[in-house]
Structure 1
Amino acid sequence: MLTSFAYSLVLMTTVLVSGAIGSVIISNDHPLIHFHGRWDKSPGTWWAGSGFKMHVDNLKSLSLILGEHTTTPVASIGVSPYPSLKPSSVVRINVEGWQNNRINVEKIILNDGARLLPYSPSRLGFQFIGDSLSAGQYLPQGVDQAWPFLVGEQFKAEHTVNAQPGATLTDIVSYGNQHGVSFQFFRTEDTGYFYTTDHNFTTAWDFRRDVPPPTHVIIHIGANDASQSVTQDSFIKTFLNFISRLRTLYPTQPIFLFTPWGWPSADGSVSQYYPGAHQQIVQDRIKLGDHNVFLVNTTGWVTFDDVFPDNQHPNVPGHEKIANLFGAWLETWGLKPEPEWPA
């Protein structure tokens, strides 16, 4: 497991990993910066967890100079140095927030004598798609404490989280989101674009920028569709169309569909939505000849002790529990964690 440190970045200031500010200036278009997640041309982040990794020889200090498109007054980030016995280090920096999570990187300053090396990605790559239950809403460190992020760490895998709190899968307005995930997943920007005066438009995401492409796709969504009274039949149709479109990007990758774990109450009851829908979606894909879509039955995974009582979203221990249960499910399915990080 990587060690994660939380920082708050203030516009045009610096964050040090250690030591003093150095004199090696890295431009934001340097080919050895390994970007992950969604970045626009500025370059600026969108969606929770987007960031970059660098493999650096003789790393002693690292500073970021941020531009005008950074969320103000602060944007929280996670900094994860990869443990290594070698002189070189890999550092991952990613935005934590489920909203207000934009950093606009102008340049990176390293200590004198530091040198960038090629970054070797993990053989495994997880693409997570969802809503607030995957984006880490209400967690102190946001997506860095959410179950998708934790599963990625457990398996030593590259991981990208495209999850939007309040968003439906259906392309409708929902809780401040102008679009549903079935539309927004294919865009660079998350649905926060609508409220961002310097960037109130969307651009198509070039999936060739996801290097390497994900090896596994995990989807957990539907709570907001149910809250917006989307019928079960309509939800199933939208989901099937969404998977068909995903298959143009990920023709052979396993796709895992989470059933809803529901909304647990203090009396021990659990309010469910779309009973049997995800099972039908998997069955319909199999009928089409797609035998690489799998159901993850999460019934009983989340109890009232695992959620914040005022909003029923998983708390920190709840996300850890979900990550451990899904990790065990994946191992039973046949996927084993990588023995070590490549770099």
Structure 2
Amino acid sequence: MKLSSVVAALASVVSATILQNGQVRITDYPDTVIDPAGYTFETYSPSAHEISYKGRWDSKYISWWSAPGLKFGFTGEYVAITFGPLTSNTTLVGYRVDGQDWQFTNITIGATHLFVSPSTTGVNITAPIDPSTFELRVTNWAYGVQIDAVHVAKGESLFKIPNYGRTIEIIGDSLSAGQYATLEGLSSYTYGLGAGLGNTEYSLTAYPGICLFDKQCYGNLRGMFYQWFRTSDTSGRAIDIWGDNPEVWDFSKQPAADIVVINLGTNDNNSANNVTTAGYVAQYTMLIEGIHAVWPRAQIILISLWEGFNTIGNTYEQSSGFYTEIYKIYEYFNLPEYLSNPILYDPVKNTTYKSFRPSAPFVSYFNTTGILQHNDIGPQYHPTDVGHIKLASHLIQYIKLKFDWVLYATGPEIQHDTLYWNDQQDY
């Protein structure tokens, strides 16, 4: 969803301030910058096969979209990363060792940051024969980092961490990117869904203000119908780095998605963007056909739109957009005549073609009606942290019941700083 502040946010300098209910939130994140000359490191290039990149990263090792990250195993008691000149200055990242809680720090362009040292919680708890796992995630949707080098102590090593056996892709706009949530990408329902399933690879291809239809919407020069097939998002920094010729995304870089969740159309449904219903339906249909061409075995879930709440008399009522249209798209892909002769989309030639190969049903519909209440939507018309958690929880249960996915997240923290409790019995 797009508000007047989105355009300003795209052009503004990165801020380390987090607001909570209009008040500045005390963060006290540690300054992890070090002088590498004071350490003896074993250094790996960003192309080292031991490093697994999560989400979308380009050929310059620059991160894009929401909550991209990296993961690797390491021995020893030190992990440091040097960030390149195309890093957004003061970008907030979350990082952790194994199943410990997220820690946070702001990244400095061109600096080396020490993330793990002998004082880090969790270091050396793992049995000596097993390497510890290091994970880093960019919290913001508009900014990113560039990896220049990864360091461990001299004589120590990085290890490749095998991918989990299942993968989920979420495609969306600001509602899915986590805009206005406390930690943005790491507070979003999309991250909560991917991490909350447990033992699941996830990629959050979402960006605020973007339309599904391929046109300029709220400062985004292209729609998701075009941009999903590209590596970078629609941010100003993407234009600065790649101009009007972004890299085509190589889908072989990541495991094929088993489930794809699509939540698009809120910006298309705004009269300011002039997207016709016919155009929206046509390109939504072709986007699904393109996804099916890329990942023929993926199950695709279409999410019904919620557009906040209106006052009706002395109560509230949820509003929606393209409600009938999205449901009819779902029905279309489940028609016997479609499944017996499915149509696919080729983004290179921008044309559709018949596959002449029967397809099993692969499109499902998730109705959001009744999940959120009016107080789950913040003043900026986006879900609160609690709203995101509710959406993620319902989607997790939907996927569990419909696709028989086992839930594996049984301990490590997912949403950070959401542990609220009362320990006063007399109040």
**TM-score (normalizing by structure 1):** 0.88
Q: Kindly state the Cα deviation for residue 265 of structure 1 after the two structures are TM-superposed.
A: 3.8
Residues 145-202 of structure 1: per-residue CA shift (max 9 Å, x gap):
1111111112111100000100000001001100001100111110015764343231
Tell me the residue number matched to 2:363: 293
> Residue 152 and residue 318 in structure 1: after superposition, are their counterparts in 2 closer, same or farther (change >3 A)?
same
Is 1:9–1:75's contact at 8 Å kept on the other side of the alignment?
A: no
State the structure with more CA Rg: 2
Distance 1:152 1:104 in 2: 24
Distance 1:293 1:192 in 2: 30
Distance 2:238 2:57 in 1: 18
Is 1:261–1:300's contact at 8 Å kept on the other side of the alignment?
A: no
Tell me the residue number matched to 1:159: 202
Q: Kindly state the Cα deviation for residue 13 of structure 1 after the two structures are TM-superposed.
A: 4.0
Q: Kindly state the Cα deviation for residue 303 of structure 1 after the two structures are TM-superposed.
A: 1.4
Match of 1:171 among 214, 223, 242: 214
> Residue 233 and residue 39 in structure 1: after superposition, are their counterparts in 2 closer, same or farther (change >3 A)?
same
Matches within 5 A, 1:88-99: 88-99=131-142
Match of 1:71 among 72, 88, 98: 88
Residues 231-283 of structure 1: per-residue CA shift (max 9 Å, x gap):
32321111101111111101111111111123124641222111211110111
Is 1:38–1:45's contact at 8 Å kept on the other side of the alignment?
A: yes
Which residue identity lines up with residue 385 of structure 2 in the other structure? V
Secondary structure, counterpart of 1:276 in structure 2: helix
Secondary structure, counterpart of 2:66 in structure 1: strand
Match of 2:42 among 24, 27, 30: 24
The alignment status of 1:306 with 2:376, answered yes or no, reads: yes
Which residue identity lines up with residue 282 of structure 1 in the other structure? Y
Which residue identity lines up with residue 215 of structure 2 in the other structure? I
**TM-score (normalizing by structure 2):** 0.72
Tell me the residue number matched to 2:298: 253
Across the two proteins, how many residue pairs are aligned to each other? Answer: 327
Tell me the residue number matched to 1:336: 405
Which residue identity lines up with residue 398 of structure 2 in the other structure? W
Q: Kindly state the Cα deviation for residue 54 of structure 1 after the two structures are TM-superposed.
A: 0.5
Is 2:170–2:190's contact at 8 Å kept on the other side of the alignment?
A: yes
Match of 2:396 among 327, 332, 340: 327
Is 2:215–2:223's contact at 8 Å kept on the other side of the alignment?
A: yes
Which residue identity lines up with residue 275 of structure 1 in the other structure? Y
Secondary structure, counterpart of 1:150 in structure 2: helix
Which residue identity lines up with residue 167 of structure 1 in the other structure? I
Distance 2:197 2:381 in 1: 27
Distance 1:333 1:21 in 2: 52
Distance 1:128 1:184 in 2: 14
Match of 1:200 among 243, 257, 277: 243
Tell me the residue number matched to 2:223: 180
Distance 2:28 2:239 in 1: 23
Match of 2:168 among 111, 126, 135: 126
Distance 1:21 1:196 in 2: 37
Tell me the residue number matched to 1:3: none
Question: Where does structure 1 lack aligned partners over 5 or more consecutive residues?
Answer: 1-5
Which residue identity lines up with residue 269 of structure 2 in the other structure? A
> Residue 14 and residue 94 in structure 1: after superposition, are their counterparts in 2 closer, same or farther (change >3 A)?
farther
The alignment status of 1:38 with 2:56, answered yes or no, reads: yes
